[in-house]
Structure 1
Amino acid sequence: MGFRCWRERALIGRLAVVLAAIFVFFASAPQTQAQSTEFRQAVAQAAARDADLATFYRARNFEGIWGDDRRRRNALLTAFASAADHGLPAARYEADALVAQLQSGSTAAAQAQAEVELSRLFLQYARDIQTGMLTPSRIDSNIKRQVPLRSRLGTIQAFVQSSPSGFLRSLPPGSPEYARLLRQKLEMERLLARGGWGPTVPGRKIEPGQSGPQVVALRDRLIAMGFLARTNSQSFDAAMVNAVQRFQQAHGLAIDGVAGAGTLREINIAPEARLQSVIVAMERERWINRPRGQRHVWVNLTDFTAKIIDNDSVTFETRTVVGAVHEDRYSPEFSDVMEFMVINPSWYVPRSIITKEYLPQLQEDSNAANNLLITDASGRVVDRNAIDFSEYTETNFPFSMREPPSQGNALGLVKFMFPNRYNIYLHDTPSKSLFGREVRAFSHGCIRLADPFDFAYALLARQVGNPQAFFQSELRAGRERRVNLNDPVPVHLVYRTAFTKEDGPMQYRRDIYGRDARIWRALGREGVAVRAVQG
């Protein structure tokens, strides 16, 4: 009887607990539901100012993505913490206060505001690290590059369906160049923390065979830069000559082993300035964050080279001449696709050259530039002696000018066409002496090639059995001949004052057009700065 009573009392007790729990559940359910509704309404209101976020949240009934997912929050905060490693301003993605507000906000409206702001910061970071912080054309009108911006809505939709940390790691450019630039940046930040490369080198010229304090300063600088093995020698010996030559090669200088004024100027550039160039190169790499083509042509304007790249390896390289340092002659930056070459080309003179250069000459002497034919709107040749050139100005000159195929043609004997609105292409030139210069900025904007025939052979090798014989046969015929490329080749005209070599030292070039200086100033306005990092 006692046991039975005890069991009944226990059952009654447990029932009371269950009933109490049920009471609490039903009592609190309306309140919880009310808070959820209030939060969703607040999310809808906070997201309304951003069309992409409004669409995203509407599709999920305005439920949050950050508050209940610690992995997602932590992955985002980790990515934000490493933003400065990529040359982005860490302060731009300050999120700790938002996370605190999201987790313990006093009102649903405050939590919703933090929720939407975190999503906005995520999208800002994704775009910055994937395709760059800046709009190139706003920095320099000759940067014509079309940045491959990703859909903001597509980005956040893909994010919530992916591993958070994996998705965020996939955002930066995946090119080998970006990875090497990132390593170089981190190495240079550690170098700055150790004091950099030490004192600069005095004097204007140091030659092999010299000795003394200048040589010692040069020796120490080259050792610190990694071009010379550690030594106690105080003379400009063979080892130092080799080190100077390696430095000159890595900086696009004439390789003579003499530390002349130009070489010393480059040697004395501070590591902070070199680091700025690396950070700018990383931003530029983000602007071109798309497939470049298994085979593509890479023209680096500051390096004065054109390369054919096959599967990330250089298979052909030649020197170039690029646009002169003049307002109307800068070579632009853009990407397009090479479709054909023209053997024995005519030169159709751009109107800007006709009116600004040739018209004044013709007004003084109607026989000036007599290698050029003057043509009317129908392409018919006009007798220049029948024209009174003094009647015309830059705006009303009605004629065109063309240079027929010849050895002396301004385009040489072949041009390579990737039709574009800027009228830029690669071509041969009769002015071969310019390729011996250290700085080769002399053209009207097009890219002249030192080895155009070999360039043509390399392009044709994939579609004819004997490219050299084919090309030379067409050349000897003397007629203008268009040869289509069976497989069009992407062409990228780029401007990199800092770039890497897979098997060599970091490469630096001069900022011939001042573009990278303008980019650095723009990055600075966004909060990017050089830093030193212990490690």
Structure 2
Amino acid sequence: MIGCDWRGLGRRALVACLLGGTSLGPGLLAAPVLAQAPAISGFSQAVAEAAAAEPALGAFYAARAYAPVWTDAAAAPRRAAFFAALDQAGAHGLPVARYQAETLLARFATIETERERGQLEAAVSLAYLAWARDISSGALEPEKIDAGIVREIKRPDPAALLSALLAAPSPEHFLRDLAPKTPQYANLMRARLQLAAQIGQGGWGNPVPARRLGPGESGAAVVALRDRLMKMGYLGRSVSATYDAALQKAVQSYQFDLGMKADGVAGEATLAEINVAAEERLKSVLVAMERARWLNGRDLGKRHIWVNIADFSARIIDDGKVSFETVTVVGQNRPDRRTPEFSDEMEMMVINPSWSVPRSITVKEYLPMMQRNPGAAGHIQLVDSRGRTISREGVDFAAYNARNFPFAMRQPPSQGNALGLVKFLFPNPYNIYLHDTPSKSLFQREVRDFSHGCIRVGRPFDLAYALLARQVDDPQDYFQKVLKTGAETTVRLDAPVPVHLVYFTAWPNARGRIEYRHDVYGRDAALYTALAKAGVELTTLTN
């Protein structure tokens, strides 16, 4: 019998032993297991009982007459690859304890009966399914944490995960490829490892003790700023105590990466960001990795629109590169106005749109105004159930409340229309879309959460031109001709464009450096709390 003594071995030695196809324990059934004896009723019954926690798993084993996946000699490379993958679960920001790797390895060393082997067989499969699900599509159920995360997550089929692993020429490659393969995820993972290592060395040092620092100043606070930016990777080694050109450039680069006004002056807002602890940035990265896993398995589209709510931006991505970008205004930080997260397809734009006022705004905002003054909001029409415009004269607004108000409200196309002169539609249950706005001044603010939930676009005409460029020869001329008619006109896109409304407070730029944004809705804080509760550890790199 080929074997080794499992008892007393360390984790990595156990994995090496597994890879060697050794015996599954010192018990009486070690030799028959190695000989790959046909499954007996004790093994099969134990697998069936233990797999009942996952019906698809029970059906999978039944379909293969309870042939083992993990607990015979032929499975040695497969189980070794799996336990090696579990060794890296912490580096992916996953809840390591959920997979019980240490316990499972210990059980391999103590099998005495076929029933114990069957129980372990099913336990490893359940651990594998949990890990594979988490690393490929996320460890959390986000809609249970925040009602604004309505993203449809593509969860892998349990039987398909097992069948694909069995069919894989290289278990190591198959398991590795379950994680997102995008460069953004790789950059986040690298940042996660670097931050954890930095925290292990004391983080970025003491906070900068100043409210404002600028070029030409000197002293201990400037030294602290210089030291902190060096540890963050924004400045090379230097011992100067003066706020010189190199330090100004480093501050400017930092401001640019955080979406701030890049003037090179470390004002109060800039220093507040610089003084954020490395631990807090690591939390943002861990949540971003989880969010990236939610998108894994979804074809984003060779051309797609990427709306980062936390970044107040919208971009067109063509073949992985940004071809258009604009600032945005998103929903206010109120429970009924926060912009939700989901993906859909943009199908059309409406030039010279009318605004059909949402029912919630009609009864919560305009009805009280009209009860006080029937002429209030006179630029918005009353519309009956048959779509007819109704005069306000003779309407007793005081006779109605939010439940029984029988009218809708609509604002006709105009320069002052709340939707501006164009809106972009991707029909969805949440009534969210992109649109122009007459309130241009809000785009000058750094924090831009002012809408009722829809996304206001800073460069709406340019967005329209970019979308039309693939279906008309002169998109600007075409758009302007339609616009000048003043008539509400729907223009369908020949090829619908995927739209992804996301919320990343940490995301890599084109250079791979992580840019951070404010958690304007508090969603990431709630998600990190849930990750920690699930067992994700802040700085653990490996099991």
TM-score (norm 1): 0.91
Please name the residue that 2:12 is paired with.
none
The letter for the 2-side match of 1:325 is N
Please name the residue that 2:5 is paired with.
none
Deviates more, 1:469-478 or 1:227-236: 227-236
Distance 1:49 1:282, change over 3 A: closer
Distance 1:37 1:433, change over 3 A: same
Distance 1:225 1:495, change over 3 A: same
Deviates more, 1:35-44 or 1:246-255: 35-44
Alpha-carbon displacement from aligned partner over 1:460-499 (angstroms, at most 9, x marks no partner): 0000000000000000111110000000000000000000
- Contact 1:80 1:94 survives alignment (8 Å): no
Q: What is the RMSD of the two structures over their aligned residues, measured on CA atoms?
A: 1.8
The letter for the 1-side match of 2:141 is T
**Displacement, 1:431?**
0.5
The letter for the 2-side match of 1:283 is E
SS in 1 for 2:496: strand
Please name the residue that 1:42 is paired with.
46
Partner of residue 379 from structure 1, selected from 374, 387, 401: 387
Q: Determine what percentage of the aligned residue pairs are the same residue.
A: 52
**Are 2:59 and 1:55 aligned?**
yes
Please name the residue that 2:126 is paired with.
120
- Contact 1:102 1:115 survives alignment (8 Å): no
The letter for the 1-side match of 2:190 is R
- Contact 1:189 1:533 survives alignment (8 Å): yes
Deviates more, 1:333-342 or 1:251-260: 251-260
**Displacement, 1:100?**
4.6
Partner of residue 77 from structure 2, selected from 63, 71, 78: 71
Partner of residue 511 from structure 1, selected from 483, 500, 519: 519
SS in 1 for 2:153: coil
- Contact 1:191 1:532 survives alignment (8 Å): no
- Distance in 2 (CA, whole Å) between partners of 1:34 and 1:424 is 58
Q: Any runs of at least 4 consecutive aligned residues in structure 1 with deviations exceeding 4 A, and if so which? A: 31-35
Please name the residue that 1:394 is paired with.
402
- Contact 2:91 2:540 survives alignment (8 Å): no
SS in 1 for 2:325: strand
Please name the residue that 1:322 is paired with.
330
Please say which structure displays the higher CA radius of gyration.
1
| Aligned pairs (5 A) from 1:189-338 | 189-289=196-296, 290-338=298-346
Please name the residue that 2:95 is paired with.
89
Partner of residue 152 from structure 2, selected from 146, 149, 161: 146
**Are 2:503 and 1:495 aligned?**
yes
Alpha-carbon displacement from aligned partner over 1:388-424 (angstroms, at most 9, x marks no partner): 1111111111101111000110000000000011110
- Distance in 1 (CA, whole Å) between partners of 2:66 and 2:182 is 37
**Are 2:446 and 1:442 aligned?**
no
Alpha-carbon displacement from aligned partner over 1:190-233 (angstroms, at most 9, x marks no partner): 22222221111012222333222222211211122122232232
- Distance in 1 (CA, whole Å) between partners of 2:352 and 2:177 is 47
The letter for the 1-side match of 2:78 is R
SS in 1 for 2:316: strand
**Displacement, 1:504?**
5.4
Please name the residue that 2:22 is paired with.
none
| Count of aligned pairs between the two proteins | 505
**Are 2:473 and 1:465 aligned?**
yes
- Contact 2:90 2:540 survives alignment (8 Å): no
- Distance in 2 (CA, whole Å) between partners of 1:368 and 1:41 is 74
- Distance in 2 (CA, whole Å) between partners of 1:366 and 1:281 is 49
**Displacement, 1:50?**
2.5
- Contact 2:346 2:426 survives alignment (8 Å): yes
Deviates more, 1:488-497 or 1:378-387: 378-387
Deviates more, 1:473-482 or 1:197-206: 197-206
The letter for the 2-side match of 1:95 is A
Partner of residue 481 from structure 1, selected from 481, 489, 494: 489
**Displacement, 1:34?**
8.9
The letter for the 2-side match of 1:155 is L
**Displacement, 1:90?**
2.0
The letter for the 1-side match of 2:424 is F
- Contact 2:284 2:506 survives alignment (8 Å): yes
SS in 2 for 1:384: coil
**Displacement, 1:171?**
0.5
Please name the residue that 2:372 is paired with.
364
Unaligned segments of structure 2, at least 5 residues: 1-31
SS in 1 for 2:249: helix
- Distance in 1 (CA, whole Å) between partners of 2:52 and 2:534 is 26
- Contact 1:102 1:112 survives alignment (8 Å): no
The letter for the 1-side match of 2:250 is A
Distance 1:479 1:230, change over 3 A: same
Distance 1:454 1:34, change over 3 A: closer
- Distance in 1 (CA, whole Å) between partners of 2:477 and 2:352 is 16
Please name the residue that 1:135 is paired with.
141
- Contact 2:307 2:315 survives alignment (8 Å): yes
Partner of residue 535 from structure 2, selected from 518, 527, 531: 527
TM-score (norm 2): 0.90
Unaligned segments of structure 1, at least 5 residues: 1-27
Deviates more, 1:92-101 or 1:353-362: 92-101
- Distance in 1 (CA, whole Å) between partners of 2:286 and 2:406 is 48
Alpha-carbon displacement from aligned partner over 1:427-447 (angstroms, at most 9, x marks no partner): 000111111101111111100
SS in 2 for 1:302: helix
**Displacement, 1:71?**
0.4
Please name the residue that 2:19 is paired with.
none
SS in 2 for 1:335: strand
- Contact 2:315 2:326 survives alignment (8 Å): yes
- Contact 2:185 2:292 survives alignment (8 Å): yes
Please name the residue that 2:412 is paired with.
404
**Displacement, 1:118?**
0.4
